[in-house]
Amino acid sequence: MLAVESPSSAHDAGLAGELPAQPKSVRDTGLSQQLIVELIAKAIFVNGKSHLPVLTTRLHLSINVLREVLEFMLAEHVVEVAWRGESDIDVQYQLTAAGRLRASAWMDRCPYVGPAPVTLEAYRAVVERQAAQVPQLCADELAAEFADDFLSPAVQRMLGAAMYAGRTVLLHGPSGSGKSVLARRLGSLQQGVIAVPHALVVGQEIVQVYDALLHRAPTPQHLRALRPSPERRSSDPRWVLCQRPVVALDADLSADMLELQPDSHSGSYRSPPQLKANNGLLIVDDLGRQRMSAADLLNRFSQARELERSQLALAGGYHFSVPCHMQLVFATSLAPEALLDASALRRIGYKIPVGPLDGASYRTLFRQQCVTMGVVFDEAALRHLIDVLHAGSGLPLLACYPREIIGRIGDFAGFLGEPARLSVAALEQAWISMFATCEPAAAAGDAIDQLQRRIA
C-alpha cells in the first residue's frame, strides 16, 4: 500500500459539519472517567513529564476534558503539577509515586497508548448518517473518469448503473484484461468525504479503525465541495475527515483475516477489512483463489451488506455488531458459472464482462505507452505486433500487453546502452521473452537459436 499525506484536522467552519462536535466535558465524550484517567496516566508513564497541550495532541481530547480529569487525578494523588507557567494551559504534569504504580498496572493490563476512542454507539450513529448522505453518481462524472480507459459504452453504462445503485459488481474476463485496475478506478468515482474514528471502545477493549494507508486525506476538490457549517464550532479530534476508502483484498485472503486481530504490542485489536471499508468500496480480487471458497466469501459479505451490519468477536468470546455500509466489487478470471452456482450469482447485482480491446483502442493505448515510457514509436512495427505476433499466436489484444512489451524494450535498450526504439526486432525480442514460443520438448539450445533467428 501507498503512504499518504497526513489527514486534515478539519477544525474550520467548512468541515465542522462533517464531523461530530468537540466534547466539552467527560460526559460529552461518552467514555468513563476511569478510561480517560488510565489513558492520561499511561501517556505520562511512557513519555515522562507532559505539557497539557501535548496531552491534548496525543490523546485527541480537548483541554476542557483533560482539565476535568486531571483535577480528579490531582485529588487522588495520581498526578502532580511538575511546572506551571503564566498561562492557564502552560502546565506540566507528572505521575506521583503511587501514580506510577497504578500506571504500571494499567499498562500490564492494556498497553494501549494513543488517541482516545469513541463509543460503539457514536460510531454506529455517524456511519448510519453518512450512509444516508451518499452523493449520487451521474453519467458525465463517469465518462470523465474513464475517458482514456477504452471501455465500451455498454460496459461504461453497466458500471455507472451499478455504482449509482450501490449494487454488488462482478468483473469477469481473461487475466490481463484490466479488471483489477478497473476495480480500483471505481474507487475514484465515490463522492464526498466521511468521518473515521481513530479507535472504538468495546467493553474494556480498544479496536483501532483509522488506517492512514487506507483512509486518505480529502483532496482540495473534496474540501471545496463540503457544505458550510451554519455556525463555527470545533470538531471532535477523535475523528478524522477522509476520502471514502478503497480496500482491496487478493488471493492471500483467509477466513481469519475477516475477524478482529489482537495486537499484543499495541494492546488493542486491528480492524478487519470490512470495518475499515465502511462507507467506501471493498474489492475482492482474484475471486476463487482465496483460502476460503468463493461461495462462502460471497455469502459472508453479501449477508452483512444486506443486513447492514457485521458480527465481530473479541478474544474472550464477546460478540458485537458494527454497521456495514459498503459497495462490493469482485473480480475474477474464472468463468462465473464455474465459480458460483445460480443462487449465488443472483446475489450479485451486476455481472460485467471485461474482455480484450478492439484494434483501434489497442493501437491508441500502445502509442500512449510509448510516449509515457519514452520509447520512439514506429507505426510499421506496431502493425507487425498486431498482424503477425498477435494474429499468429492467437493471443487477444489485452490491456496489460502494451506496457509490458514496451517496458521490456526499454529493459533491453538500457542494458545495451542504446536509446529505446520501437522496431520489429525489438518487438520480437520482447515478445519471445514474455511468452513460451517453443514446443515443450524443445531444448534450451533450440530456444536460443530460435530467438537469434527471429531478432537477427
- Residue-wise pLDDT for 339-351, tens only, equals 999 999 999 999 9
* Cell triple for 38: 488510565
Output 345-350 pairs: Cβ under 8 A, ≥24 positions apart. Answer: 345/170, 347/168, 347/298, 347/299, 347/302, 348/168, 348/169, 348/170, 348/298, 349/162, 349/165, 349/167, 349/168, 349/169, 350/158, 350/159, 350/161, 350/162, 350/167, 350/168, 350/169, 350/170
Grid cell, residue 275, equals 470495518
Predicted pLDDT at 134: 86
Q: Mapping DSSP to helix (H, G, I), strand (E, B) and coil, where does residue 324 land?
A: coil
The rounded percent of the chain whose pLDDT value lies above 90 is: 78
Mean residue pLDDT across the chain: 89
The mean per-residue pLDDT over the stretch 351-368 comes to: 95
Q: What is the mean pLDDT of residues 360-383?
A: 96
* Comparison of pLDDT for 446 and 121, the residue scoring more: 121
Q: Is the pLDDT of residue 227 over 70?
A: no
Beta bridge pairs of residue 239:
197
**How much is the pLDDT for 453?**
56
User: Is the pLDDT assigned to residue 35 strictly greater than 70?
Assistant: yes
Residue predicted with more confidence, 434 or 449 = 434
Instruction: Give this prediction's pTM.
Output: 0.86
Using the predicted structure, report yes or no on whether residue 145 has a pLDDT greater than 70.
yes
DSSP 256: G
The string of pLDDT tens digits covering residues 283-303 is 999 999 999 999 999 999 999
List, for residues 71-93, the tens digit of each pLDDT value.
999 999 999 999 999 888 999 99
- SS3 percent helix, strand, coil of the chain, rounded to 5, is 45, 15, 40
Counting every residue written for the chain, the total comes to: 456
pLDDT of residue 232: 46
More confident residue, 135 or 263: 263
Is pLDDT at 442 greater than 90 in this prediction? no
Predicted local distance difference test score (pLDDT) of residue 231: 47
Residue 229 pLDDT grade (very low, low, confident, very high; cuts 50, 70, 90): low
Cα dihedral angle (224, 225, 231, 232), rounded to 10 degrees? -40
pLDDT at 261: 94
- Nearest Cα neighbor of 433 from 403, 404, 453 is 404
User: Other C-beta atoms within 10 Å of 122: how many?
Assistant: 20
Question: Can you tell me the distance from the alpha carbon of 80 to that of 66, in angstroms, rounded to the nearest whole number?
Answer: 14
Partnered with residue 311 across adjacent β-strands are 321
The confidence band for 18, taking pLDDT boundaries of 50, 70 and 90, is confident
Residue 191: pLDDT band with limits 50, 70, 90: confident
Of residues 178 and 451, the one with the higher pLDDT is: 178
